[in-house]
A and B are shown apart, each in its own frame.
Chain A
Amino acid sequence: MKRNAMIGYTLAAALCAGPAMAQELTGTLKNIKQTGAITLGFRDSSIPFSYLDDNQKPIGYAMDICYKIVDAVKKELKLDKLEVKLNPVTSSTRIPLLANGTIDLECGSTTNNVERQKQISYTNTHFLTASRYVSKKASKIGSIDDLKGKSVVSTSGTTNIKQLTEANAERKLGINIIPAKDHAEAFLMVETDRAVAFVMDDILLASLVAGSKAPGDYVISKDAFSKPEPYGIMLRKDDPAFKKVVDAATAALYTSSEGQKIYDKWFTQKIPPKGLNLNAPISAELKNQFAKPSDSPDPDSYK
């Protein structure tokens, strides 16, 4: 009954719209058009990808990319006005909240892998980073094996905590793994000696160290838990029309000089709120990726 009525409405709408609307909108695009709003998921402390500035507004490299996508969506839908709603997410909540429609795009530092691709989709990769750990120089942790029997923190819901859990089981390290809500909290556990190390993507570790009270006290490991893995902005699965728009927008951004400009703004120049400069010029791999954008989850495809 209901379905028939719905089809009726849709037909009526299609007829009224006439030839102006050649193609019926579906999924996320349809929803954005109807509500005139798009919701971006942001992170508290994924510096410099997505984090809060001094006024507690989300900013960052991934946020900039997302705003470019928003512009493209606006243009695609020929909207005069598109309201951007912001919703905080954590590593733990981002995938369920994307799946249940609370957010439309997740703008952060989410690792793109095969397993997650079964749940959600990614647009073109915006960064490559490997999973390592940070510890205090004073605790003299030279390798992953030195973590044996110690308390190690990682952020719950990340690929990193999973890799740590797996390595812990495989190598019988007997590490006491503490899950933290977000990166800043996890890093503070190392700063306050509650955990000896924090396992996370190296770029995030580097920015946390740089922003800490005594950057000289910390060392980021040579040992890695993973190869450099791609980061992507997440969107819902099985929504080809929306993905097409998003992919086209990111590809256009990365292949143009603007991609490099946005990258430099966040990685080689001073960033708010503390005026840090991460001094992390673009890697050769990411440069290749920008020239030929892809959403591949395979780390080897970026060599």
Chain B
Amino acid sequence: MFATFDFDVIRRSLGYLFLEGMTFTLTLTALSAVGGIIFGTLIALMRLSGYKLLGRIAGLYVDFMRSLPLVLVIFWFYFLVPYVGQWVTGASRPVSVGAFTSALVTFIMFEAAYFSEIMRAGIQSISKGQPAAANALGLTYAQTMRYVVLPQAFRNMLPVLLTQTIVLFQDTSLVYVLSMPDFLGAASKVAQRDGRLVEMYLFAAVVYFTISCVASFGVRRLQARISIVR
């Protein structure tokens, strides 16, 4: 069965696959996770702020993003972001946004909806007495959040946030639809050029599987440690 396979094609393209493809994927994952968690926390704070309108807007945003397939959102943003840039900066023509930036904006905006739900649960898991105590000590709302609530919420939710980041890592493969050179995109470019779909896609599957497996194993260890400490 494997007689007709040409595993050398993998070896020959390793440099391109990892130096360019995997770098693209990991950079995109890391930046989107950081951006998504920050933006997601803001959304969660909006939802829990007690201002009806603000909470409503945040809730709608989350529901809206969560009803759409990521593929559609990726197309939307790739075509729309330059116009938004034009509108924001007041330029006379659409602002040129590169493929990477566009993908980054897409993933931050999309994943923020998911991260915000996690952060919301984390904030709600903090007992009411703590913000009340902080308030009694004279801390402002911002200080309470900054020094008391958010650090704990973030810590409690760290395993879930990391699990979502693994999902995000897998989701970045969808930029394939835009021909971007992420890991899968790079693998498919080599696969199609050399007519070696079987070898390259199997290899890509093994790489994604290994990374995700090791990462989720790490998250499980972390979770066990955190739960013992408490």
Contact with A along B82-116 (1 / 0, CB 8 A): 11001000101111111100100000000000000
A39 touches B192 (CB 8 A): no
Interface residues of B in 55-90 (CB under 8 A from A): 78-83, 86, 90
Known: A88-B181, A100-B83, A100-B94. A93 touches B78 (CB 8 A): yes
How far, in Å, is B189 (CB) from chain A's closest CB?
6
Q: Which residues of chain A have a CB within 8 Å of any CB of chain B?
A: 2, 6, 27, 31, 35, 39, 44-45, 52, 55-56, 85, 87-90, 93, 96-97, 99-104, 181-182, 184-185, 188, 191-192, 212-213, 273
A102 touches B82 (CB 8 A): yes
> A-B pairs with the 3 shortest C-beta distances?
A101-B94, A184-B192, A100-B82
B179 touches A39 (CB 8 A): no
Instruction: Pick the residue among B90, B102, B181 that contacts A102 (CB under 8 A).
Output: B102
How far, in Å, is B49 (CB) from chain A's closest CB?
31
Jot down 7 A-B pairs with beta carbons below 8 A, ordered by A.
A6-B92, A56-B16, A56-B181, A85-B98, A88-B180, A102-B97, A185-B192
B178 touches A93 (CB 8 A): yes
Return chain B residues, CB-CB under 8 Å to A100: 79-83, 94
How far, in Å, is A83 (CB) from chain B's closest CB?
12
How far, in Å, is B177 (CB) from chain A's closest CB?
7
Docked Cα-Cα span, A85 to B186, in Å, equals 19
Return chain B residues, CB-CB under 8 Å to A213: 195
Apart from the given pairs A44-B189, A56-B16, A90-B178, 5 other A-B contacts in the complex at a CB distance below 8 Å = A44-B192, A88-B178, A101-B93, A102-B96, A103-B96
Residue of chain A at shortest CB distance from B100: A87
How far, in Å, is A142 (CB) from chain B's closest CB?
26
Return chain A residues, CB-CB under 8 Å to B197: 188, 192
Return chain B residues, CB-CB under 8 Å to A44: 179, 189, 192
Interface presence of B193 (CB below 8 A): yes
Return chain A residues, CB-CB under 8 Å to B78: 93, 96-97, 102
Known: A88-B181, A101-B82. A182 touches B192 (CB 8 A): yes
Docked Cα-Cα span, A95 to B83, in Å, equals 15
Docked Cα-Cα span, A192 to B192, in Å, equals 12
Docked Cα-Cα span, A238 to B78, in Å, equals 22
How far, in Å, is A140 (CB) from chain B's closest CB?
23
Residue of chain A at shortest CB distance from B94: A101
How far, in Å, is A215 (CB) from chain B's closest CB?
12
Contact with A along B189-207 (1 / 0, CB 8 A): 1001101010000000000
Interface residues of B in 167-197 (CB under 8 A from A): 176-181, 186, 188-189, 192-193, 195, 197
Q: Which of A2, A6, A88, A212 has the most CB of B within 10 A?
A: A88
Q: Which of B92, B96, B177 has the most CB of A within 10 A?
A: B96
Known: A56-B20, A56-B186. A101 touches B192 (CB 8 A): no
Q: Which of A31, A52, A56, A188 has the most CB of B within 10 A?
A: A56
Known: A96-B79, A101-B96. A89 touches B186 (CB 8 A): no
Return chain A residues, CB-CB under 8 Å to B178: 88, 90, 93
Return chain A residues, CB-CB under 8 Å to B86: 101
A35 touches B96 (CB 8 A): yes
A182 touches B181 (CB 8 A): no
A27 touches B93 (CB 8 A): yes
Residue of chain B at shortest CB distance from A183: B192
Docked Cα-Cα span, A97 to B92, in Å, equals 17
Instruction: Pick the residue among B96, B186, B195 that contacts A188 (CB under 8 A).
Output: B195
Docked Cα-Cα span, A192 to B178, in Å, equals 24
How far, in Å, is A243 (CB) from chain B's closest CB?
15
B99 touches A87 (CB 8 A): yes
Docked Cα-Cα span, A212 to B92, in Å, equals 47
Return chain A residues, CB-CB under 8 Å to B81: 100
A184 touches B179 (CB 8 A): no
A56 touches B192 (CB 8 A): no
A39 touches B96 (CB 8 A): yes
Instruction: Pick the residue among A181, A184, A191 that contacts B177 (CB under 8 A).
Output: A181
How far, in Å, is A70 (CB) from chain B's closest CB?
15
Docked Cα-Cα span, A275 to B44, in Å, equals 57
A93 touches B181 (CB 8 A): no
Return chain A residues, CB-CB under 8 Å to B180: 88
Residue of chain A at shortest CB distance from B197: A188
A52 touches B99 (CB 8 A): no
Docked Cα-Cα span, A1 to B8, in Å, equals 63
Residue of chain B at shortest CB distance from A93: B178
Docked Cα-Cα span, A45 to B98, in Å, equals 21
Docked Cα-Cα span, A39 to B94, in Å, equals 14
Return chain B residues, CB-CB under 8 Å to A103: 96
Return chain A residues, CB-CB under 8 Å to B97: 101-102
Residue of chain B at shortest CB distance from A53: B193
